[in-house]
Amino acid sequence: MAGVSVAFGGLVALSDVSLEVPPNRVLGVIGPNGAGKTTLFNVACGFVRPDAGELWWRGERHDRLRPHRLAGLGIARTLQDLGLFEHLTVLENVMVGAGRHARTTFWSSLLALPGHTREERALADRAGAVLDRLGIADLADRTPAGLPYPVRKRVALARALVAEPRLLLLDEPASGLSGEEMAEIGELIRGLTDRMSVMLVEHHMDLVMSVCDDIVVLDFGRVIARGRPEEVREDPAVLAAYLGEDVPAEPGRSTC
């Protein structure tokens, strides 16, 4: 994105923000409370339309990103509100994420329409493989209701990954996780970079510093620093922005 600005009424949430997620890299977006992180994530997902600036994806300009078109563009996301279907199994939840064509297959199978079986099986295999990669294959036949929050987060991640995106957008992947779970999710994210780019918006410095190749720091809607984790960590503007902030390095559990 280039020169993106967003205002809510008189309040400027993003001002002239430019950033790029290079192929096969992890970009972290951090900043104190109210810095504009969620707004930026929502712009990238098409939930918020910028008042100014340009959105580019794979050499093409997109004046209007729409959430339901993301999958078709090769972009997947997870949200803090995980949005799982409680009455479908974990496997079915993941299958739902497989993009427009596959979704047709999935729904046609639910409606028992003819001609779906082979595609359906292939999709179930793909979904199963992603669950396996995320270490939750044994839960494929469970419904998400009653599963612990960190596991539910993995199901949501699996649903994003089954579409085999080129860009994965993660909203606060560490929220609600213990230190150990956070380290595991960090490793999982790093392991994705052979196939895709990742942009994550995150509060927890530990995860951002250990997982990201590049970091963009927002404060009051502006980019105040960018660079490698070790550069950003020492940046005086970043230290000043976080002064007085409760930087959650050792998170406790919280709700979604």
User: Among 89, 80, 76, which Cα is nearest to 147's?
Assistant: 89
Taking the complex as a whole, how short is the minimal distance between the CB of residue 30 and ligand ATP, in angstroms? 9
Nearer to ligand ATP, 41 or 106 (CB): 41
Taking the complex as a whole, how short is the minimal distance between the CB of residue 94 and ligand ATP, in angstroms? 28
For ligand ATP (CB under 6 A), the number of binding residues is 12
Q: Which of the ranges 35-43, 154-162, 185-193, 208-216 carries the binding residues for ligand ATP, by CB under 6 A? A: 35-43
What backbone torsions phi and psi does residue 28 show, to the nearest 5 degrees?
A: -105, 140
56-57 and 60-61 beta bridge pairing: antiparallel
Taking the complex as a whole, how short is the minimal distance between the CB of residue 228 and ligand ATP, in angstroms? 21
Pairwise CA distance, residues 160 & 70, whole Å: 11
Taking the complex as a whole, how short is the minimal distance between the CB of residue 97 and ligand ATP, in angstroms? 24
38 belongs to the binding site for ligand ATP (CB under 6 A): yes
* The pair of three-digit structure tokens given for residue 44, joined into one six-digit string: 């990238």
Spatial contact of 104 and 156, defined as CB atoms under 8 Å apart: no
11 belongs to the binding site for ligand ATP (CB under 6 A): yes
Q: Which of the ranges 34-42, 54-62, 154-162, 247-255 carries the binding residues for ligand ATP, by CB under 6 A? A: 34-42
Nearer to ligand ATP, 123 or 169 (CB): 169
Other CB atoms within a 10 A radius of the CB of residue 245 amount to: 12
Spatial contact of 18 and 223, defined as CB atoms under 8 Å apart: yes
- Taking each continuous run of H as one helix and of E as one strand, the counts in the chain are 10, 11
33 belongs to the binding site for ligand ATP (CB under 6 A): yes
Taking the complex as a whole, how short is the minimal distance between the CB of residue 79 and ligand ATP, in angstroms? 13
Pairwise CA distance, residues 29 & 111, whole Å: 42
- Which residue has 């995860």 as its token pair? 207
Taking the complex as a whole, how short is the minimal distance between the CB of residue 13 and ligand ATP, in angstroms? 3
Footprint (CB under 6 A) of ligand ATP, residues 64-103: none
Pairwise CA distance, residues 185 & 7, whole Å: 33
Spatial contact of 223 and 17, defined as CB atoms under 8 Å apart: yes
Nearer to ligand ATP, 190 or 220 (CB): 220
128 belongs to the binding site for ligand ATP (CB under 6 A): no
Spatial CB neighbours of 23, under 8 Å, sequence gap ≥ 6: 166, 197
Nearer to ligand ATP, 34 or 53 (CB): 34
Q: Summarize as ranges the residues that interact with ligand ATP (CB under 6 A).
A: 8, 11, 13, 31, 33-39, 203
